[in-house]
């Protein structure tokens, strides 16, 4: 399994944690499909789904941060925008390569690193901050 959400990645905000679980599951499906050599059409659809879902998740997370007046909102927004750009590059590389699944497999580590580091180093701070408001 390329990606696995674990309890130590919990932020403590139900909506955020549930969306992170879906993100990990779908990203894992994408990478497993690439490893198994599944059809490039399926891989392309999964990339599209992840792109759309990531944008929705970031939007929801950003709305939540604004609702609690999270002090590091601007930093998070900048990081989110950068990651969306990385996903767009990945989708373009996949399309330009004619659907070469190796492009997806090579991106695996970038996505895993970003997700785990971003959640551990950035998103967890949202949960810590939210707890101070209760």
Q: Which residue has the higher pLDDT, 67 or 108?
A: 67
Rounded to the nearest angstrom, the gap between the alpha carbon of residue 28 and the centroid of all alpha carbons in its chain is: 11
Rounded to an integer, what distance in angstroms lies between the CA atom of residue 49 and that of residue 55? Answer: 10
Tell me the backbone φ, ψ of residue 38, rounded to 5 degrees: -65, 165
Q: Which residues of 4-34 are buried (b: 16+ CB within 10 A; e: fewer)?
A: ebeeebbbebeebbebbeebbebbbbbbebb
pTM: 0.84
Express each pLDDT in 14-25 by its tens digit: 999 999 898 888
Tokens of 128: 């810590």
**Which structural domains are found in the chain, ordered by start?**
14-132 (1.20.120.50)
Tell me the backbone φ, ψ of residue 13, rounded to 5 degrees: -120, 115
What's the chain's average pLDDT? Answer: 85
Closest CA to 54 of 111, 97, 7, 101: 111
**Quick one: three-class SS letters along 59-82?**
HHHHHHHHHCCCCCHHHHHHHHHH
């Amino acid at each position: 399994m390329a990606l696995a959400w674990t309890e130590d990645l919990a932020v403590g905000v139900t909506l955020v944690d549930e969306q992170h679980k879906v993100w990990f599951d779908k990203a894992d499906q994408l990478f497993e499909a690439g490893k198994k050599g599944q059809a490039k059409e399926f891989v392309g659809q999964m990339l599209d789904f992840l792109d759309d879902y990531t944008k929705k998740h970031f939007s929801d997370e950003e709305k939540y941060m604004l609702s609690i007046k999270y002090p590091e909102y601007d930093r998070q927004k900048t990081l989110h925008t950068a990651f969306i750009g990385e996903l767009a590059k990945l989708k373009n590389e996949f399309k330009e390569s004619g659907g070469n699944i190796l492009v997806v497999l090579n991106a695996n580590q970038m996505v895993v690193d970003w997700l785990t580091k971003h959640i551990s180093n950035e998103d967890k701070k949202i949960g810590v901050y939210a707890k101070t408001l209760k």
